[in-house]
Amino acid sequence: MKVVFTGGGTAGHAMVNTILIPLLKKENAELVYIGSKEGIEKKMMASYPYLSYFSIQTGKLRRYFSLKNVTDIFRIIIGFFQAYFILRKEEVQLVYSSGGYVAVPVVWAAYLQGIPVILRETDYSIGLANRLCLPCSKDLFLTFFETDVADYDITSYKEGMIIRPELIQMRDESILKPTSSKPICLVMGGSNGAEKINKVIWDNLEKLTKDYVIVHITGKGKKNAHYLNSESYQQVEFIEEIGKFYAKADIVIGRSGSNVVSECLLLGKKMICIPLSSTQSRGEQTLNANFAQKYGNAIIIDNQELDGKRLMTAISEIRKMPINDMYRIEEVDLNQRINKHLFFIQSKALTSNIK
């Protein structure tokens, strides 16, 4: 059985693939990844030596006028032909796409060759890339069960909120060693960091560290040398083993991409969500945050209204909120959910007419 994974552009689009890939390898599957040359997905897949990685050209269709929309159309066309010949050469049985613009030419090329495709939507609303791919597949995993699919011809779709099992396994571990008994706030702004969140933390650090321990993930290349680590403030650019930080965090502060929302919901963590505004995105982070507020432990701060006073108030308010364990999951249940994903992938691949 040979399976191609695709998806990228952001860590959110590739993270679920990092859960499924090693488990499929244990089932003796041959695994291929088609991604972009410079995308974060390439770095994420570098840890799997048994995985063949192929880069293709990719383009983005923007919702505003830009000359890049014209040039990117040609990049997508080139990417389509590259993906077509990779799929043909590799003789795969299935394509699993977790979204992002790099996935579009791969899914189209698979469809034209009669290769079954499974899609996954990472966010609450279906993104443009997946909307372009849906005519090529009727199988869609949803991260959020409320996602509206009424307008699409979908014959099978499932709730697909899964996280890495090690995040649960690390609940009793920690690399945080504050000597203070103050509550711990884990601040993160996504894989690229968030300059506005970083600035608010630094501008209000004295007030924040008076009552809290701040663990601040700034994003690569965005550490501030003016602020030294102490008992109440720890600054890092990037964390590989985020589970050990989640383990001791009382409150998680940051954007509301699908990864962090899923992880906090399933781990039962309190969140302060600061979603990107609709001018910076298609509004998916706001919808993710609304879901977290409805089913978990979350307070939302409008990105345009974020300042030190609003952040301090939100931290104080969420500390008083009762824990909502509605979405919290134990390891045995998480593994069952992941195994259902694997079974569906294997069944689809093994019944494929592609030899």
Helix then strand then coil, in percent of the chain rounded to 5, is 45, 15, 40
Measure the CA–CA gap between 21 and 246, rounded to whole angstroms. Answer: 23
String of DSSP letters for 248-300: H-SEEEE---HHHHHHHHHHT-EEEE-PPPTTTSSSHHHHHHHHHHHHSEEEE
Q: Does the pLDDT value for residue 146 go beyond 80?
A: yes
In order of 23, 43, 78, 316, the CA distances from 40 in angstroms are 21, 5, 20, 35
Neighbour count for residue 295 (Cβ, 10 Å): 16
pLDDT in tens, 115-138: 999 999 999 999 989 999 999 998
**φ, ψ for residue 26, nearest 5 deg:** -65, -25
pLDDT in tens, 16-58: 999 999 999 999 999 999 999 988 899 999 999 999 999 999 8
Q: Does the pLDDT value for residue 261 go beyond 80?
A: yes
Is the pTM for the entire model greater than 0.85? yes
Measure the CA–CA gap between 72 and 36, rounded to whole angstroms. Answer: 13
Q: Does the pLDDT value for residue 60 go beyond 60?
A: yes
In the structure, what pLDDT confidence band is assigned to residue 158 with cuts at 50, 70 and 90?
Answer: confident
pLDDT in tens, 319-348: 999 989 899 999 999 999 999 999 999 999
**186 beta partners:** 215, 252
DSSP state of 16: H
Measure the CA–CA gap between 245 and 87, rounded to whole angstroms. Answer: 39
Check: CB of residue 234 under 8 Å from CB of residue 167. no
